Amino acid sequence: MTLTQINSLLAVLDYGGFTEASKRLFMTQSAVSQAIAALEQELGVNILLRDRRKAIQLTTAGHRIVQHLRAINREVNAVKEIAEQEKQNPQRTLRLGCFPSVCACILPVVIRYFEIHHPNIKIIPFEE
């Protein structure tokens, strides 16, 4: 099962047919159809009822499967969003060693200032 297969099936359902789905996915209709057929073959069940005279319909198994495929798609999108956020604003940790007197007197002010200006960097002081 591939993301292309999942996205192809969901696009056909969301856009009401193979033609519009293929346009939105920048794929040929044949490629969309083949992706869905490969998914059905891998799962061993028909997901779509194919009748040229009727709108796209799901089989009973298709209804159950699509619920899970949508959940998978949401999770994949969440992972992509996390990765994008991390690329734009990476979280970092800075371990800062210091003398006990500095840790108690000066460092708290410095850490507060630094955290205001660099919220993605966590400072962990330790005494040596």
Write out the DSSP string of 9-43.
Answer: HHHHHHHTSHHHHHHHHT--HHHHHHHHHHHHHHH
Mean pLDDT, to the nearest integer, of 86-110?
81
Buried b vs exposed e over 90-110: b needs ≥16 C-beta within 10 Å? eeeeeeeeeeeeebeeebeee
Domains in the chain: how many in total? 2
Mean pLDDT of the chain, nearest integer: 91
78 and 117 within one domain: no
> What local confidence, expressed as pLDDT, does residue 87 receive?
85
Are 18 and 9 spatial neighbours (Cβ–Cβ below 8 Å)? no
Q: Are residues 81 and 113 in the same domain?
A: no
Residues 31 and 78 grouped into a single domain = yes
Could you tell me if 55 and 114 lie in one domain?
Answer: no
Beta strands in 1-120 (DSSP E): 48-49, 57-58, 92-98
Tell me the β-bridge partners of 53.
none
CATH code of the domain containing 75: 1.10.10.10
CA distance 98 to 125: 7
Q: How far apart are CA 125 and CA 25, in angstroms?
A: 50
Question: Tens of pLDDT along 33-83?
Answer: 999 999 999 999 999 998 777 788 999 999 999 999 999 999 999 999 989
Whether residues 77 and 103 fall in one domain: no
Asked if residue 63 and residue 111 are part of one domain, the reply reads: no
Same domain, residue pair 23 and 9 = yes
- Domain span holding position 121: 92-127
Residues 108 and 58 in one domain: no
Q: Are residues 16 and 60 in the same domain?
A: yes
End-to-end Cα distance, the chain? 53
- The answer on 29 and 70 residing in a single domain is yes
Residues 76 and 103 in one domain: no
- As given in the structure block, the two tokens for residue 33 are 């159809």
- pLDDT, position 122: 86
